[in-house]
Copies of this chain bind each other. A is one copy, B any other.
Amino acid sequence: MSDIYQKSLIAHKQWKGKLRTILNAPLNNKEELSLAYTPGVAEPCREIHRNPESVYEYTWVGNTVAVITDGTAVLGLGDIGPKASLPVMEGKCALFKSFADIDAIPIALDTKDPDEIIRICKALAPSFGGINLEDISAPRCVTIERELKKTLNIPVFHDDQHGTAIVVAAGLINALKLIKKSFSELKVVVSGAGAAGSSIMFMLRDLGVKNILGFRKEGIIRKEDHDDFLVQELSEFVNPDQLNITLREAMVKADVFIGVSAPRLVDKAMIKSMNSQSIVFALANPEPEISYDDAKEAGAYIIATGRSDFPNQVNNVLAFPGLFRGALDAKATKISEEMKLAAAQGLASLIQDDELNPDYIIPSVFDRRVKDVVSQAVKDIAIHQGLVRKS
């Protein structure tokens, strides 16, 4: 692993940036200058002033996404600040380009005040077709995203929350086909109630799961937990029987374990205590809650991790490029819960029933059909829901 880090450092030094801008209009002579800039440019300005919607016709806005962070929850590195977060933000923007031909711009803010971040995002909104929030610590990220979704009429999406949840949902949809169970029958244990964990639990609820046991560092979530608004909201539907048990106890007879927490929280005995045909999503990265090999040896039927060197990689890049592509193509005004579910279903549908097997419930990151299927599903539902701008 230290090898990849050294290689990456050297590569970053050579690149000096994983992005560049290029001209999409010629500027080689007086006439071209007068078309792209003064005096000609006055006319598209006047046209947008008359009809603000036409900004999508005359500028790059409709194909852009701002990738915005405050650097408080970067990878597994934590609160490393805006400057140190920039290699990740640039990488994210490069993924947007590579996987969905979206012009994304890395923006790391020098403030941690949620109200200030909200104000800045609102002020930036006219310049971008969408906002992808990234690596902002929980529960602040939820506050920020909700307020922006309420007030802006462009797609706003916090990938750390919902990107993982969409891919997990897609994997579960396919896993249930293999074990022939429905969401309502499942007992699901979730370890981690941060950005990703909370969004996963909300989505499990929306998919019909009744019995969700959610854990944080402090233990199982119960109604009496009022640490913050997010835990409180989760406690309304998580742990319906108000059990006061450990993670080890909760795993007994569970059908599904989903970990978005920390390395080595789960041992073989815990996997063995699960129901037959158990499903294990051990997504802590790079070191999962239990290794693929250990989970396999302990009898897990289906295993997914965040790693590319094992089957069923849960990678956000399966979701966010197609999701934003579909939303931008639809001129969507927001990302609805239904659009996220459509993205999950679209992603799951890429694997035919006769191809499905325990090592293949999630498509490959390099499956070229992913972006098109996800974006089409998202675009269709956005239009169906009427969540699109009139042009």
Contacts and interface: CB of A to CB of B under 8 A. Distances in A.
Contacts of A13: 57-58
A308 B41 contact: no
Nearest to A105: B105
Contacts of A80: 45-46, 48-49
A244 interface: no
Contacts of A94: 23-25, 27, 36-37
A91 B37 contact: yes
Interface in A147-202: none
A61 interface: yes
Interface in A73-97: 74-77, 80-95, 97
Interface string A95-125: 1011000011111111100001001101111
Interface in A332-380: 365-366
Output the residue of A34, A37, A46, A110 with the most chain B CB within 10 A. A37
A334 to B, nearest CB: 18
A230 interface: no
B285 A38 contact: yes
Contacts of A143: none
B90 A77 contact: no
Contact of A16 (B29, B57, B86, B119): B57
Contacts of A4: 34-35, 39-40
Interface in A1-23: 1, 4-9, 11-13, 15-23
B24 A22 contact: no
Contacts of A33: 308, 317, 365
A43 B58 CA distance: 40
A106 B127 CA distance: 7
A156 to B, nearest CB: 15
A126 interface: yes
A106 B64 CA distance: 11
Nearest to A103: B21
A275 to B, nearest CB: 32
A16 B97 contact: no
A90 B9 contact: no
A60 interface: yes
Contacts of A109: 123-124, 126-127
Contact of A286 (B39, B58, B61, B93): B39
A16 B77 contact: no
A48 B87 contact: yes
A83 B48 contact: yes
Contacts of A29: 366
B93 A21 contact: yes
Contact of A110 (B8, B27, B122): B122
A62 interface: yes
A52 interface: yes
A16 B120 contact: no
Task: Give the top 8 A-B pairs by smallest Cβ distance, nearest first.
Answer: A17-B60, A8-B40, A5-B43, A49-B84, A18-B25, A37-B91, A82-B126, A48-B84
30 contacts: A5-B42, A9-B43, A12-B44, A13-B58, A16-B58, A17-B59, A18-B60, A19-B103, A20-B22, A20-B60, A21-B21, A22-B22, A29-B366, A39-B286, A41-B88, A44-B87, A45-B77, A45-B84, A46-B80, A46-B84, A48-B86, A49-B80, A49-B81, A52-B83, A58-B87, A86-B126, A105-B105, A109-B127, A119-B120, A120-B120
Given A5-B39, A45-B75, A55-B83, 15 more contacts: A4-B40, A8-B40, A9-B43, A9-B44, A12-B58, A17-B60, A18-B25, A19-B22, A23-B97, A33-B308, A39-B75, A44-B87, A52-B84, A59-B90, A89-B127
